[in-house]
């Protein structure tokens, strides 16, 4: 176990204790980068723990050789992603908790900025930040949140879903970047029955019942997109699971315009990622739906027409390729 404390002449202020778990699975090279970014924070009084859920010994050997001071919890037998997430929440003991991924990288100011907000505002149950996108090892200027966005405090579930469901080209704050109050997530976890691979949305909705969430506009991490990302594939069944959970919760109606936008987005993603192997009649129905919706949005949402026209062209190209 390591407790790294920032050295300085000024007396240390009273803060909430913090544990940073790095969820790792057979990626020692990525983990090394992530771990260094956590160690070299400008405010280093957190407990750093690697939760090693690897099939092989490559991660544990790398930690033993290069980071012997870091506490490592080896998960044997290995856990699925939902069990892994729950295990960390159950065993965490600090006031604040971060569950970071081994393929992402923290800015040196991440801890100091996010913890400052939680220390100052007891109404907040979680804080997250914007992120630059890494494509493999290439640094880009792409960000998750829209340009010009200010810090935003989210109190209402519909406001949260608007960030996830709307037609905006930008997404919500990245899930691995959250810092939570442990008491606010006690007893909660990712539930595969409430959205499958998209159950981070239902998880955040549950947290929102216990207090407000702040999204910090400053990019304080780098989120890596690569071939092993779960987001590289689209799962319509899991999307429908999430929608059913939301309907049961009474957050929004199935007839809400937000639901229509969300359905358009994920079916468009599914089509672009490849619909081969799907029944011909189903592809035709979805193609007609996407074309119809694209035309409606192009006519009713002037600021989106260029992007939607581009999507329409992609759909047509995909349709032509499927006939060849």
pLDDT for residue 309:
63
Q: What is the pLDDT of residue 11?
A: 40
Q: What is the CATH number of the domain that holds 220?
A: 3.90.550.10
Same domain, 58 and 152: yes
Average per-residue pLDDT for the chain: 88
Confidence of residue 13 (pLDDT cuts 50, 70, 90): very low
Q: Which of 163, 197, 231 is the last residue of a domain?
A: 231
Clarify whether residues 180 and 303 are in a common domain: no
**Tens of pLDDT along 252-281?**
999 999 999 999 999 988 887 766 566 787
69 and 105 assigned to the same domain: yes
Q: Are residues 190 and 74 in the same domain?
A: yes
Q: Are residues 132 and 271 in the same domain?
A: no
> By the 8 A CB rule, do 66 and 98 touch?
no
Q: Which of 41-50, 97-106, 275-284 has the least mean pLDDT?
A: 275-284
Q: 261 and 205 in one domain?
A: no
Q: Which domain holds residue 112?
A: 2-231
Query: Per-residue confidence at 323, pLDDT binned at 50, 70, 90?
Result: low
Q: Which residue has the higher pLDDT, 279 or 33?
A: 33
The verdict on 255 and 183 lying in the same domain is no
Q: Tell me, what's the pLDDT at 81?
A: 94
Do both 315 and 171 map to the same domain?
A: no
- Domain count for the chain, please give it: 2
Q: Specify whether 267 is located in the same domain as 176.
A: no
Q: What is the pLDDT of residues 119-169, one digit of tens each?
A: 999 999 999 999 999 998 898 999 999 888 899 999 999 999 999 998 875
Same domain, 48 and 147: yes
**pTM of structure:** 0.86
Higher-confidence residue: 59 or 324? 59
Task: Specify whether 144 is located in the same domain as 61.
Answer: yes
> Is 49 within 8 Å of 116 (Cβ atoms)?
no
Exposure class string for 132-149: b at 16+ Cβ within 10 A, else e: bbbeeeeeeeebbbeeeb
Q: Of 205, 231, 257, which residue is a domain's last?
A: 231
Q: Is the pLDDT of residue 20 over 80?
A: yes
Centroid of chain to Cα 217: 15
| 68, 38: one domain | yes
CA dihedral of residues 7, 9, 11, 13 (deg, nearest 10): -60
Among 231, 247, 277, which residue terminates a domain?
A: 231
């Amino acid at each position: 176990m390591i407790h790294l404390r920032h050295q300085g002449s000024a007396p240390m202020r009273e803060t909430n204790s913090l544990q940073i778990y790095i969820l790792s699975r057979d990626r020692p090279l990525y983990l090394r980068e992530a771990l260094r970014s956590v160690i070299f924070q400008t405010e280093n009084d957190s407990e750093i723990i690697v939760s090693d859920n690897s099939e092989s010994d490559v991660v544990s050997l790398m930690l033993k050789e290069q980071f012997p001071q870091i506490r490592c919890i080896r998960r044997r037998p290995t856990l699925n992603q939902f069990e892994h997430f729950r295990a960390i929440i159950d065993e965490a003991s600090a006031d604040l908790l971060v569950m970071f991924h081994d393929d992402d990288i923290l800015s040196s100011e991440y801890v100091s900025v996010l913890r400052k907000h939680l220390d100052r505002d007891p109404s907040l149950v979680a804080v997250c930040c914007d992120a630059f996108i890494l494509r493999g090892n290439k640094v880009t200027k792409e960000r998750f949140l829209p340009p010009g966005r200010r810090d935003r405090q989210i109190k209402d579930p519909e406001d949260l879903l608007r960030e996830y469901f709307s037609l905006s080209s930008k997404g919500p704050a990245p899930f691995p970047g959250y810092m939570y109050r442990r008491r606010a997530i006690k007893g909660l976890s990712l539930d595969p029955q409430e959205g499958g691979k998209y159950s981070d949305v239902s998880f955040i909705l549950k947290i929102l019942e216990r207090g407000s969430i702040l999204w910090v506009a400053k990019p304080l991490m780098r989120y890596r997109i690569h071939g092993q990302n779960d987001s590289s594939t689209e799962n319509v069944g899991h999307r429908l699971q999430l929608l059913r959970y939301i309907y049961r919760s009474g957050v929004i109606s199935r007839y809400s315009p937000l639901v229509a936008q969300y359905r358009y987005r994920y079916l468009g993603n599914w089509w672009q990622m490849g619909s081969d192997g799907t029944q011909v009649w189903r592809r035709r129905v979805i193609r007609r739906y996407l074309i119809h919706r694209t035309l409606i949005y192009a006519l009713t949402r002037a600021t989106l027409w260029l992007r939607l026209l581009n999507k329409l062209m992609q759909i047509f190209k995909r349709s032509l390729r499927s006939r060849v």
